[in-house]
Amino acid sequence: MRVNNQLLIRHLGLQNYEKMYRAMVRFTTERNESTIDEIIYLEHSPVYTLGLAGKTEHILEPDATPVIKTDRGGQVTYHGPGQLIIYLLIDLKRRGLNIKNLVYQLEESVIAMLAECSINASRKAGAPGVYVGDRKIAALGIRVRRGCCYHGLALNVDMDTTPFNRINPCGYPGLEVTQLREQGIELNIEQAAERLLPHLVKNLNYDQENIIIDAELSEFPIDHIAA
């Protein structure tokens, strides 16, 4: 089996955003052509994040929640417990993907997962993410460096959505958000990940036989970065 056809899936639980962000940057900087791709799912402690073009004026009511500037695409969003975060550390060249293909497949995976839950979701032209009606249920933000990507997607599962009222989510004034619980779907983070990951694996063209789940293959750089 060729190492570069493998995919390692990790569950890292509740993590500090800034620590995880720096770990992803380090992983991507240090990886090479034989590095195994990884998908990591987790939750974050409460945090607002600003993308490369992020404008602080989209934070309408600043509070004690940390605001972290990042190098992903997009404007401002909120992360907190009860939201499924999936980070994709993937060699796009190796998978034959470009950023447009990747975004499409991420959205397609979420839409398919929601369809299994009897939720009719869709895209919006010019506004990456997944929507139920006019309300956003999943946000995307990606960075590509040397043909490899990091960051990923956030799916609202069962969380306190009040902090979204203090920002213009993704830079759109008045944009409302929703979550699985409000759509009548009672899942925890692990159950939501179990529903979504098979679609991601399929749509990103990995073979199931090459998937490694939470293996102690190597330490992720987060283990070596102080909070």
- What are the phi and psi torsion angles at 195 (to 5°)? -75, -40
d(CA 136, CA 134): 7
CA dist 214 to 39, 41, 114, 148, Å?
10, 11, 25, 21
Q: Is 170 a catalytic residue?
A: yes
Tokens of 110: 């979420």
Catalytic residue among 117, 148, 149, 170: 170
Contacts with 57 (C-beta within 8 Å, 6 or more apart), sequence order: none
For residue 216, the Cα-to-chain-centroid distance in whole angstroms is 22
Q: Which residues are catalytic?
A: 170
